[in-house]
Amino acid sequence: MNPLGVSFCGSRLRNPTVLASGILGVTAAQLKRAEEGGAGAVTTKSIGPEERSGNRNPTCVALPHGLLNAMGLPSPGYEAMGEEWRQLKKMKVPVFASIYGASVDDFRRVAAYVADKKPALIELNISCPNTAEHGQAFGFEPSVAADVVEAVKEVSGRVPVSVKLTPNTHKTVAVAKACEEAGADAICAINTVSGMAINIEARKPVLSFKKGGYSGPAVKPIAVRCVYEIYEAVEIPILGVGGITTGRDAIEMMQAGASAVGIGSGVYYRGPNVFRLVCDEMREWMRGNGFASAKSLTGAAHD
Ligand SMILES: Cc1cc2nc3c(=O)[nH]c(=O)nc-3n(C[C@H](O)[C@H](O)[C@H](O)COP(=O)(O)O)c2cc1C
């Protein structure tokens, strides 16, 4: 038996590590690097209703304890991906398709098209802080988030739907509950934490978009707290994301309640083999601490 194997929304994952959205792009060639690096599943960069070039540079800066980015959701647009879907289908690990939209109708339209391509899961990015028009509005309000989920569930058929939540509101748990009630099959938490850095000599924000989304080791306690609270509020599985770079981090996130873990900035810190490294470290810890399966880690820190 493979002690790291887990199920997530009907997909069998060889291990619980998942490439988080936005880190390696949307093409099979890009996502393959994570597959080869040991990921149990991969998530595409968020795909939107039309082509977007994203924000002007600089769009990403490494700070002492994390990354600050405002990419602005650069995307080829869902219809332009054409042949790419065929390549994505050839991948050996499950592919999660992340999508975004500026309206409920956008989400419905993109989801209908993407569902037809039969990804393992559709992840709704209702939480990107880094664009002027595709703000976090959907992820801030439980009823608005539920509207998006309901619209997508009408067209998603048998493809499970996960909702990616923002930590930039005190309503994260309420949003998770509303999404579950609206039919969501899973929750992904968290997207980046809203932040800013200023170049004091230039007296200007470092990023062209001024504000950005903070990720990496510094956000792990925020992500762990969100996942812990969401786990107590919903029954659906959680993909825990935020600050995971080591096996210990992954185990902590699973003990908080995650069934699988997303790794984004960790690819920057440890390279595309981060998934294999994290799995090796998890296996070793589990052996020394009496956990026979990754599944048994989920929620272990709850009373
Ligand atoms: C450069 C960069 C681009 C990102 N792009 C997306 C995106 O397109 N869609 C999305 O849902 N999340 C996006 N994220 C957020 C990550 O998927 C993840 O939720 C967040 O970075 C926290 O995880 P981490 O600390 O492991 O990076 C992006 C993050 C980074 C650093």
Amino acid 132: pLDDT: 55
What is the CA(54)–ligand 1 centre distance, in A?
Answer: 14
Mean pLDDT, residues 4-18 taken together:
98
Q: Return d(Cα 190, Cα 167) in angstroms, integer.
A: 6
Helix axes 172-181, 142-155, angle to 10 degrees: 30
Cα–Cα distances in Å, from 225 out to 167, 189, 219, 302?
Answer: 10, 10, 10, 12
Instruction: Name the pTM for this structure.
Output: 0.97
Q: Which two tokens stand for residue 101?
A: 């939209």
CA of 144 to the centre of ligand 1 (A): 22
Cα separation of 191 and 215, whole Å?
8
Percent of the chain with pLDDT over 90: 85
Mean pLDDT of all residues in 125-140: 72
pLDDT at 299 over 80: yes
- Is residue 208 within 8 A of residue 59, CB to CB? The reply is yes
56 three-class SS: coil
pLDDT for residue 146: 96
Taking CA atoms only, the protein residue closest to ligand 1 atom 7 is 22
Residues 6+ apart with CB under 8 A from 130: 55, 69, 70, 71, 72, 73, 192, 209, 211, 212, 213
Q: Which of 9, 60, 128, 226 is catalytic?
A: 128
- Structural class in CATH, domain 6-297: alpha beta
What residues line ligand 1, using a CB cutoff of 6 Å? 20-23, 45-46, 60, 67, 69, 71, 73, 98, 125, 128, 164, 191-192, 215-216, 219, 241-244, 263-266
pLDDT of residue 75: 81
pLDDT tens sequence across 277-294: 999 999 999 999 999 999
Predicted local confidence at residue 166, as pLDDT: 95
Instruction: List, for residues 56-67, the tens digit of each pLDDT value.
Output: 899 999 999 999
**Is 60 exceeded by the pLDDT of residue 128?**
yes
Structure tokens at 145: 């988030």
Q: How far is CA 64 from CA 199, 204, 232, in A?
A: 14, 19, 33
Band the pLDDT of 45: cuts 50, 70, 90.
very high
| Domain segments of the chain as ranges | 6-297
pLDDT in tens, 18-38: 999 999 888 999 999 999 999
Ligand 1 centroid to 157 CA: how many Å? 27
pLDDT of residue 78: 86
| Mean pLDDT, range 221-234, rounded to an integer | 98
CA distances from 31 to 92, 121, 123, 163 (A): 11, 15, 16, 21
Nearest CA to ligand 1 atom 26: 264
Instruction: Choose one of 68, 193, 215, 274 to mutate for the ligand 1 pocket test, by most ligand atoms within 8 angstroms of C-beta.
Output: 215
Note the pLDDT tens digit of each residue in 168-225.
999 999 999 999 999 999 999 999 999 999 999 999 999 999 999 999 999 999 999 9
Distance CA 261, CA 238 (A): 8
C-alpha 20 – ligand 1 centre gap (Å)? 6
- What is the percentage of the chain residues whose pLDDT exceeds 70? 97
- Pick from 9-13, 103-107, 256-260: least confident: 103-107
Tokens of 26: 């949307």
Q: Is the dihedral of CA 11, 15, 17, 20 positive or negative?
A: negative
Average per-residue pLDDT for the chain:
94
Active site residue 279: no
Q: What pLDDT, on a 0 to 100 scale, did the predictor assign at position 287? A: 97
pLDDT of 107 higher than 60: yes
Nearest residue (CA) to ligand 1, atom 23: 242
* Residue with CA closest to ligand 1 atom 5: 22
Q: Say which residues have a Cβ less than 8 Å from residue 36's Cβ, sequence separation at least 6.
A: 272
Atom 4 (ligand 1) nearest CA: 22
